[in-house]
Each structure stands twice: as structure tokens, then as C-alpha cells.
Amino acid sequence: MTSKNHIVFFDTTLRDGEQSPGCTMHAGEKLRMAHKIAELGADILEAGFPIASDGDFESVRTIAREVRGPKIAALARCKKEDIDAAARAIEPAATSRIHTFLSTSDLHLAAKLQITREQALDQIGEMVAFARTFTDDIEFSPEDATRTDPDYLCKVCEVAIQAGATTLNLPDTVGYCVPQEYAEMFRMVLERVPGAKDIVLSAHCHDDLGLAVANTLAAMEAGARQVECAINGIGERAGNAALEELAAIMMVRKDKMPYSNNIVMEKLFEASQLLTQCISFGTAPNKAIVGANAFAHASGIHQHGVLANPLTYEILTRESVGYKGQAIVLGKHSGRRALEHRLKELGHKLSKEELNAVYTRFTTLADRKKAIYDQDILGLLHESMTEVANVS
């Protein structure tokens, strides 16, 4: 249980995010990101899926041993061996959670699991109770909840709560819902499921229709008090709800979203940048909150307005999310030091060799282009990092 108006941030960058194409990280990168996620103030850090591989098991265990602050969660299917592996992996953590899941839509039950609704209910009850023997913090997710028959979904939730689930996550696994519909599901569960008001309901949304953040907000308004999200919105297919967007909305629109959370806003930009160093793609320049252009003004009318009063075209300042203002514009006369300085402001501390590699590309680009903007610099950095990775 949590206080009425506090939103728990459940970060799944290292699980749902990491399992998506181009986002695979090695153990060292996962640990580095985990420390950053802790600095960012996430309440729960889902570190991985221990049964998936020995590597994932070890990496969850390392994070559990070394990262302090967030509660460390590990994912497990509703299977004994999965739950066993998850429990062993999170064992060194100061505080931990087992997150177990089973599909509940008829489509998934028939096509994927080949079990009946009744068998699924038994399995959920048994495995949630089994997970409870390791820790008293258990999250259960009925996978594909949004395409599950509503009456059956209520039954599933009731069984999970009775077996000891303390958080109930209702995922829009395929990113199919629209906001009103997603909110209604939460209201229904709160109204109809015995015990639902005494546990935490959680939203987990995918962005297949570009609605992950909107759906998450709708769930919050309907009573969800945990939001599952990932830095830069990474995750399966079109990704998960973006952590930085949810946090920024709650800050900028406190009038409409009067909830507290523990996210340290000034860390958003550097967390976003660190992630782009660990995975194989950056953020789109126009990405909300953390994109290189999110605070850039190019049109004359906008530039004039912002110079007169930033509020004319800015609803939050770049400083508030930790984005350092562009004090000097780089061009072909800029030296290595200026480039190094700007990269540092953008959150990237490079070795001498790395800086040299970026600088070589920089001078080539500066010969062709008058002014070099942040998105250019981040692009160059990304290109040279990819090259280094391919060579080594």
C-alpha cells in the first residue's frame, strides 16, 4: 500500500526495455544504468528476467548486491523454476520484489499457453502463493489484461490478491487500448474485486498507437498508484510509457495531476544520454523532454518571444530536466576543448581516444555546415561509438 496521492515509479528500462531490438546491454552497462536509475529516484527497478539466461541472472544478482535506493524487482513466469531463479537473483538486495505474470486473454491462453481459464486460475493462485514464500512483496500481471474477458479478469485479480499479491499490474501488453477504456478497467477492478482497494494497482502501457503515456495518466486518474515506464520510452515494439514524459507532466501540470513522486527531475537528461550510450540508438531530435531539439527555437518569431520572456514558448525550462543551455555555438573554428566541454555538458565524459574520434568527424562536418547543433554532436558521438563497438 502507498499513500493516496503518491505515485510509485516502476522503472523497466533494464527488463522490458533491454529485451527489445537494439537495446541489449552487457552486464557492465546494465549496472551503470541501474546506478543512474537509482539516482533518478525510481522507487522500483526491474532489473531483468533471471530465468532467461545465465547472463541475465548474474546481472540481476549484481544489481541486487550493488545498487541501493530502489527496490529491486525480477520477472518470472508463473512457473516454479522461474520464481526460484528470480528469488535467488534478488536475494542480496536490501529490499526486493518478485514480479510474476501469466497471460489471461482467451487468445493467449489458447494459442500460446494451451491451457483453460480454470487451469490458469489454479496456476496463478499456486505460483503467487509460492512466490510469497520468498518475499512479502509480490507483483502479479495478467498479461494481455486489456484483451481479457472482464468478468474473468476480475476473477483472476481476486485469486492473485487472495494468494498474496501486493501489487496488481494490468498491462496493455499490445498497446491496443484508448485512455477511457483503460481507465474503465481500473475502475471496474477497484469496484468489483474484493481486496483491490487494499493493494496497489499498476499501469503498464505500450506505445503501439502512441498512447502509452496518455493511457498511463488515465489509469492514474482511475486509481492506479504505480506506473511502469522506461527511460526514453524504450521497450517491446514501439516501447513503453516514457519515464521522463510522465515525470514532466506531473511537474508541469500539477494542477491537473496533483500527485507526488520521487523522481529527481534534474537527472532526466543525463539518464537519457547515458542510456543512448549503452544501446544502439539515440533519441529522436524531437523527442519530448529529452530530445536535442526539445528546447531549441529556430523560427524568428519563437526566438524573439523566448528572448523577451521564456514563458512565451516554453512550459518547462531546459535546466529543470538537467539539460545544460547551449552557451556557445560550435563551428569550424571550435577546437577540441570546446567540443569536449559541450559533450561534457551533454553528459558525456570521453576518453582521449574517444574524443579524438568524435573530433575528426566534427571537423569534417564543420567544413560543410556553418553551425553545429547539439543533435549533430550527439549524432557524431553515436556514429563514432558504434564504430568503436564494431571494431572491438
Minimal distance, residue 173 CB to Mn ion, in Å: 6
Pick between residue 16 and residue 376 the one whose CB is nearest to Mn ion.
16
Pick between residue 16 and residue 374 the one whose CB is nearest to Mn ion.
16
Residue 368, C-alpha cell as written in the block: 560543410
Minimal distance, residue 16 CB to Mn ion, in Å: 4
Pick between residue 16 and residue 56 the one whose CB is nearest to Mn ion.
16
Pick between residue 239 and residue 291 the one whose CB is nearest to Mn ion.
239
The rounded distance, in Å, linking the Cα atoms of 123 and 143 is: 14
The rounded distance, in Å, linking the Cα atoms of 168 and 138 is: 9
Parallel/antiparallel/unpaired status of strands 167-172 and 8-11:
unpaired
Interface residue list for Mn ion (CB under 5 A):
16
The rounded distance, in Å, linking the Cα atoms of 218 and 80 is: 35
The H helix count followed by the E strand count for the chain is 14, 8
Pick between residue 62 and residue 148 the one whose CB is nearest to Mn ion.
148
Minimal distance, residue 313 CB to Mn ion, in Å: 35
Minimal distance, residue 228 CB to Mn ion, in Å: 8
Count the Cβ atoms, other than its own, within 10 Å of residue 14: 31
Residue identified by cell 516554453 is 314
Residue identified by cell 539539460 is 323
Pick between residue 11 and residue 16 the one whose CB is nearest to Mn ion.
16
Minimal distance, residue 15 CB to Mn ion, in Å: 9
The residue at minimum Cβ distance from Mn ion is: 16
Pick between residue 103 and residue 384 the one whose CB is nearest to Mn ion.
103
CA angle (97 as vertex; 25, 265 as ends), nearest 5: 60
Would residue 202 be called left, alpha or beta, if left means φ above 0 and alpha means ψ between -120 and 50 degrees?
beta
Half-sphere exposure of 34 toward its Cβ, with a 13 Å CA cutoff? 31
Minimal distance, residue 28 CB to Mn ion, in Å: 25
Minimal distance, residue 171 CB to Mn ion, in Å: 6
- Tell me if residue 323 falls in helix, strand or coil: coil
The rounded distance, in Å, linking the Cα atoms of 38 and 40 is: 5
